[in-house]
Each structure stands twice: as C-alpha cells, then as structure tokens.
Amino acid sequence: MRALLVLALLGTSAYAGNNEVSFGSSIRALPSSSADAITPDSMAGPAFTYARALDLDLPIDGLRLWAQASFEGGMATGTMFQTMQTDVSAVMVTAGAMLRYKVVRNVFANARVAFGGEETVLRLTDPMGNTARDHSFVGVARGSGEVDVMFVDKPRFGIGLRVEFGYLAAGGAGLVPHRTQDDTLKIPLTEASIGHLDLSGPYATIGVMSQF
Amino acid sequence: MKKTLLLLPLVISFGCWDDSRARVWDRDRTVLGPIPLKTQIAYVDSGLDRVTFLDLANDRPVTTRAAIGRNAIYAMPSPDRHRLFVITRGEEAIHEGEIDQAPMLWSVDTQHPEATAAAYAIGSPFDRIAVSPDNTIAVAYFSAAGPDAAGFFRNPNELAIVDLTKPPGDGNPTLKTIRSFGSVPEGITLSPPMIVPGTDGARTFAFVLSENNLTVLDANHPERREISVRLDLGGEPVIPREVVFAPNTASAYIRSDHARDVLQLLLVHDEPLATGDNDFRPQLAELGAGGGPTDIAVYDDPTGRRYLLASTPNTGEIVVIDADTAQFRSIPISDPVDRILLFPQGGDAVPHKALLASIGARSKNLHVLDLDNISDPLTQTRLTDITLDQPVRDVVPVPARDLAMIVHDDARTVLGLLDMTTESTSPLLGVGKLDSYDFSPDGSHLIGATDAVSRVGFVALDNLHPTDFRLDDPPVRVLSTANAKIFVDHGDLRGHATIIPSADATRDQALVMDGFLLTDVLDQEP
C-alpha cells in the first residue's frame, strides 16, 4: 500500500475514454469457519465490470473518479466427513466507485469500494445420491486496490491487464437445504437450518480491461 | 513496470490459499441409530460428537442435542430406555485440531439431554456394554472382534465395571481382567438385584460367557476376585448362550451349546477367609433336562414357584423343571424344538401357554403346550400340534397380546399370525421383503416396511385388516415409540424421517423432518 502511494505521487494524468469494461477471473479465499465446513477450497469464477468516468474536478491532478457496476460469479466444491459432497456457488452484483490514477507510463493504480448483494447457493449430496439445496441473498461490501498495466494507451482507446486485490465482507447466508422433490403431493415438511454460510474473504481478480 | 510484474506471483499464489480447514470436517462420520427410547428417538453422530434426540411426546417433535466425546463406536439404551449409553473411542492428537481423549462411556439422561452427560474413563476402547436391569451398573467389554485395529496391545478379557449411581472418579470405573482359560468373553449378562442369604443386601452379579467357561463377578464389589466355572467335559466346546435369573432364590440358569444339561447356579453364603474375599460361592447343579437343551424359558406359576422349560431335541422332549427342587417332568415331542415363547408375555402376568417351534429344522409344525397344572404329575399334559403349509423360519411374540407372528421365509415376504387363545393361524402376504417391522406398544398393529416401496404397511391385529400409508421417500427402518407414534427413518445422513402419529393417521396429520442431524452445524465453531 505504501508503495502504491509512492507510485501515485510520481504519476501524471492521461485519459483514454470515459467508458471502461473489464473481464477476468476472480478467486476468493473462504476463511470463515462456516465456509470451512463446506469446502477447503477457494471460490473461483468470472468477473465482469463496467465503469463510467464521472466528470468531476478532483483536488489531485490526474485523479479520476469512476462509477462502477460489476457482476461476479464463483463456485467451489468440497466434501464433508469424507462422504457428503458439497457444492457452493455465488452470484454477486455490486455498484460502487473507483479512483484511478496514472502512476507511471502505462501503469495505473486504482482504489475501489462497492456495495451490493450476493446470491449464495449450497447443494449437499449424500452417498446415497440424495440431494438437498438452498439459496439465500445477502448484502456484501467490498474494497480493493487495483493495478492496470496498459498495452495500448491512446487518447480514445486503451487496453491492458488488470490485477485486483481486495476483501469482500458478506452477511451470513441462512440456509435451509431442501430435498429435490417431484410434483407429487407431499406430507407436511419441517426442514432444519444448516446454519449461516459466511463467504467473506480476501479475493483477487486478474483480467483484461479496456477503455474507450 | 517491474514492480507491477512482481505482483503477478501473488495472484497465482492466491489460488493456493491455505486457510487450514478444521479437521472435524474431514473426519469419518458414522451415524448410529435410530435408537428407540421411551418417546424419543436418538441418533449418535461420530463425526459431530453429539447425540441428537427427537422427542415425539407432543404434536410437534422437539429436537435436542447432547455433547459426547470423540468417535462414538457403540450405543445402547438402558433397559428402561430412560438413559442412553455411548462408548466413544476417543482420539489421539496427531494433527492440528485433534485432541487427546481417552475412551469413555457416556451416560446420557434422555429426560434431560441438555444436562452434561456423565463420562466414565473406561481405559480401553471397548465396543460392547452390558447394563443391569435396574440401571445401577454397567460393564464395558470387548466383543470377539474388537472395535478396530488401533492401538498396540489389546486385552480381550479386560472389563470396565461402572457404578452408574456414583459420579466418575477414582475407583469408578473399576478396570479388571478376568481369569481366562484361553477363551474370550462372548457376552455378559448382568443379573437383577439378588439377595444371597447371609450377605448384606441385594447385589448385581455379572455373568461373563465364554467358551468352556462361565465367570461370575460381584459387580457391587468388583475389587473382589471373580469365580470361574469350567463348563467343558472334554468333548466339543461348551458355549454358554443364555442366562435367566431367579432373583428370589439367588440363582441363575445357564443354557449352553453342546452342554449335557441346563446348569443351575445357586449363589450361597460363604464366610470370607480374608478381607476382600467373596462372601458367596456358587453351588452348581445340572437340572434334569438331559440331552443338551436348545432353548430355555423361566416362569413363575400363580403360587410364585419358579419353573424352567427346556427343549432337548436329543431326547425328543420338553422338560418342565421345578427350579427349587429340580424335580422334572418330560413331555415327548417329535420335532427338534429350539424356540420356546411363553404367553401371555411381559409384566407380572403368569404364562398359561408355551409356543414351541423348530426354527433350525425348518419344520412346518408348531406346538402349543398348556402350562396350567403342568407340574402336577397326575394331570395329563395338553400339547396341541399345529401344522402349517410352509416351514417356520421365525416366531416373534406380539407385545401385550396373545399373538405370535410367524415368518415363513428368509425374505419375510410370507407371514402368519397365530392366535394363542384359539390356536388358529392366519396368513399375511406382503408386497415385498419385510426389511423392518415393529409392533405398536399395545400390540394393536403390526407395522412393516420394505426399502423398495415408499409405504408403511399396517395390519390391525384384532381383525387382520391391512392398511398402508404412502410415504414421500423409501423407508429404511420403522419404529414404534412408547406413545404409539410411528417413526420412519429414511437413511439420510442429514437426518430425514417421517413421523406418523398413529396407525390410522392421514398424510396431512403426519410430518416429515429433514436435516435434523446437521441443524446449525455451520454456526458452531469446530
């Protein structure tokens, strides 16, 4: 972080369009005890972001503020007690803001904060093939730092590599797995909650971004 | 630019993030159960180290849990079904997150499962428990196979005698190795409290059954030496199979395979020679069955006199023995009888009839012996023969009724019901193998299930009217609780069961419970 600040002080301003899209792969570590129960792995998936530069005068020369919206997915599998297969997936939509600053030639540093929601889906399959599944929507907040390395950085077009590191805080998703059922009339059912699945954790994204 | 590129390995290494998953989630998990208690059903979870109770006393089942030790390997309810005993293997801390825990016997009060269960350090990973009928003493021991391959040495003749009326501590349990003549325990039976005349009050005795050997141990004074009784006669090994007690006379009757007779073991007072010696000794007698008994049954007549019924196929007889005087009466019978059931069953009812079956010989014949006045040599014996269409593979008494269910094949697809009052039989046909069955506590219904059919079948035993109940999922086991609710387990490791309030309940009165074995498992810290 200190290095990024030093680099920021050395930067100069340049613009390559007011729109930006980025597409990449994201991986999120799941250090919470509840996620630990489900899977030992990190969650991986695609990430897509659209951003629009805001025409604001900021106190630091070369600093630009962008509004962002992103869509991100992730999934992980695991095994509980060596017998029960677990599949967890999440789809996240967030909106927020990004500060972007040119550090050196073709290299930009970004700081980003966003808020949104995440749909968490958990599926459990026992050795007999019985499957139970549930999903839950929770609020999320994320903050990150990014580095853009531009391969092309023209006034109206730019393309480059983006690397992001951040932390995502998610609410615990209360889950009550439901068995897969056919359409026959059923006996009244009481289903027990398996608890709250917390998918908070540090994450990294690497991808391609373009400004136009 | 170079500084930025240095960040790339960090990104790659992110995929290898190691947040050191708690080992609890990678443990082997075995669910023992369902175990029927009074109005509760218990499941013992060896992965989560807890017992889950489903209390069916009210309209809505109540789920409670009790914590136990690591790696449960065996569980059994107390005779009155108010307590649950669990042996946990314990754990050796080898990896991070594991703990050192010794093998324990847990006594869980099922009426107050929220209370901390009593944990007795039994020293060895025993895998069997014997509990006295009055719930005061438990003996943990090894089965012939032993629980697992862990450990270095194992002493198969070691016992842990637990005084359940006292808290765990020094001297409770008592670890003891019984004298062995080359054999290992094949079973332990604890007596009801018995008063040996001349000694100080009622005591519980442990009868350890092993090949060619019977060991008697004063379980109330486990520090005293045990008494060994050799059973072999130099021929085929004599294997004790069954012990029945006559507590009023401080005696036990032992039936053994390849034995010449029923052995009566009478406990009598014996002045101890030194402090710590036993104050009793066994007095042995071979009762007059002769010919190697294959089954025995004990009953008291209306005057309180105790009798023993023994079947002796070698001599082709049923022998009625007066347990006090050893006088006997032989009744010739053509079939090699190896199953004796008394009716009426249970409680303090005096039996009036005995049902005799020849299971091993797959005979089609059943016999009903009238027990009234049978000890009177001047009274003619009344033995009724019943010949069925198919061989008899098993006979099962119906609780609280003068009925016996007859099983005709290994798959339990062809059944019959014998009315002991009228001595008539009625056939019952199932749609498939009767994988699990139970009787309602008042004996009003036979409840059965087969794992290939998503139904529970009922037979009203008053009029043999069959009904069935459609389930949403295939059953694995069916149970009836003491309050006549029907519990159907579907064999799901998350916990999946159907609760039917009564045999005549409709589907909308029933309830399916799902996921109760993993309730809030994500919220608990490992």
* Residue ranges per structural domain of chain A: 2-180+187-211
Range with the poorest average pLDDT among A141-150, A187-196, B53-62, B406-415: B406-415
Residues of A in contact with B10 (CB under 8 A): 165, 204
Closest-approach residue (CA) in chain A for B5: A149
Instruction: Count other Cβ atoms within 10 Å, centred on residue B231.
Output: 22
How many contiguous H segments (helices) and E segments (strands) does chain B have? 2, 42
Confidence at A118, pLDDT banded by 50, 70, 90: very high
Q: What is the pLDDT of residues B338-385, one digit of tens each?
A: 899 998 876 677 889 999 999 988 888 899 999 888 877 788 888 888
Does residue B69 sit in helix, strand or coil?
coil
A190 in contact with B at a CB cutoff of 8 Å?
A: yes
The answer to whether B241 and B262 have CB atoms below 8 angstroms apart is no
Are the beta carbons of B315 and B331 closer than 8 angstroms? no
Residue B4 per-residue DSSP state: H
> Are B516 and A187 an interchain contact pair (Cβ–Cβ within 8 Å)?
no
Answer whether A189 sits within 8 Å of B520, measured CB to CB. no
Please tell me which residue of chain A has the smallest CA distance to B4. Answer: A147
Q: Which of A186, A177, A96, A188 is nearest to A143 (CA)?
A: A96
Residues of chain A with pLDDT > 70: what percent? 92
State what percent of residues in chain B have pLDDT above 70: 92
CB contact under 8 A, B29 and A83: yes
Shortest distance, CA B485 to any CA of chain A (angstroms): 16
pLDDT value for B123:
86
pLDDT at B92: 80
- Which pLDDT value is given to residue B239? 87
ipTM confidence: 0.84
- Mean pLDDT, rounded, for B408-415: 74
List B215's β-bridge partners, or say none: B208, B228
The reported pLDDT for the residue numbered A10 is: 36
**Which residue in this structure is represented by tokens 């043999």?**
B464
Asked if B46 and B24 touch (Cβ cutoff 8 Å), the reply is no
pLDDT at B398 over 80: yes
Any idea what DSSP says for residue B452? T
Most distant CA atoms of chain B, gap in Å: 115
- Select from 3.10.580.10, 3.40.50.300, 2.50.20.10, 2.40.160.20 the CATH code of A2-180+187-211: 2.40.160.20
pLDDT band at B257 (very low <50, low <70, confident <90, very high): confident
A168-187: per-residue pLDDT in tens? 999 888 889 988 777 888 89
Mean pLDDT on B7-24:
58
Q: What is the pLDDT of residue B430?
A: 67
What's residue B150's pLDDT? 67
Distance to chain B for A93, nearest Cα, Å: 22
Among candidate residues A64, A61, A77, the one with its CA nearest the CA of residue A15: A64
Cβ within 8 Å, pair B28-A197: no
Q: Which residue has the higher pLDDT, B378 or B118?
A: B118
Counted residue by residue, chain B has a size of 526
pLDDT at B183: 79
Q: Tell me how far apart the alpha carbons of residues B309 and B289 are, in angstroms, rounded to a whole number.
A: 9
CA–CA separation, A118 and A123 (whole Å):
16
Q: Decide: residue B371, CB within 10 A, 0-12 exposed, 13-18 middle, 19+ buried.
A: buried
CA geometry: angle at B298 spanning B285 and B437, to 5°? 135
User: Which pLDDT score is estimated for B431?
Assistant: 62
Indicate if the pLDDT at residue B426 is higher than 60: yes
The nearest CA of chain A is from the CA of B496 a distance in Å of 9
Sole residue written with tokens 């980003």: A112
pLDDT of residue A60: 80
* Lowest mean pLDDT across A122-126, A136-140, A151-155, B42-46: A151-155
Contacts of A191 in chain B (CB under 8 A): 513-515
Does A184 contact B at CB distance below 8 Å?
Answer: yes
Contact A33 B525 (CB under 8 A): yes
As a whole number, the mean pLDDT across chain A is: 87
Which residue type occupies B22?
Answer: A
**Side-chain-side CA neighbours of residue A130 (13 Å):** 18
**A residues 193-212 closer than 8 Å to B (CB):** 193-197, 202-204, 206
Q: Which of residues 108-137 of A touch B (CB under 8 A)?
A: 124, 126-128, 130, 132
Interface probe for B, chosen from A162, A167, A179, A184 (most Cβ of B below 10 Å), is: A179
User: Does residue A179 or residue B487 have the better pLDDT?
Assistant: B487
How far apart are the CA of B56 and the nearest CA of chain A, in angstroms? 14
* pLDDT mean across residues, chain B: 85
Q: Is A180 on the interface with B (CB under 8 A)?
A: no
pLDDT at B147 > cutoff 80: no
Q: Determine the Cα–Cα distance for residues A29 and A50; give it in Å rounded to an integer.
A: 24
Residue A70: pLDDT band by 50, 70, 90 thresholds? very high
Per-residue pLDDT of B216-251, as tens digits, reads: 999 999 888 889 888 877 778 888 888 988 887 888
A94 or B33: which carries more pLDDT confidence? Answer: A94
Q: What CA–CA distance (Å, rounded) separates B156 from B269?
A: 31
What count of other Cβ atoms lies within 10 Å of the Cβ of residue A149? Answer: 18
Mean pLDDT of B413-428: 83
pLDDT confidence bin for B75, thresholds 50/70/90:
very high
* Per-residue pLDDT, B293: 83
C-alpha Rg value of chain B to the nearest Å: 27
Q: What pLDDT was estimated at residue B186? A: 87
Q: Given B8, B513, B515, which is nearest A194 (Cβ)?
A: B515
pTM of this prediction? Answer: 0.86
| B148 pLDDT higher than 70 | no
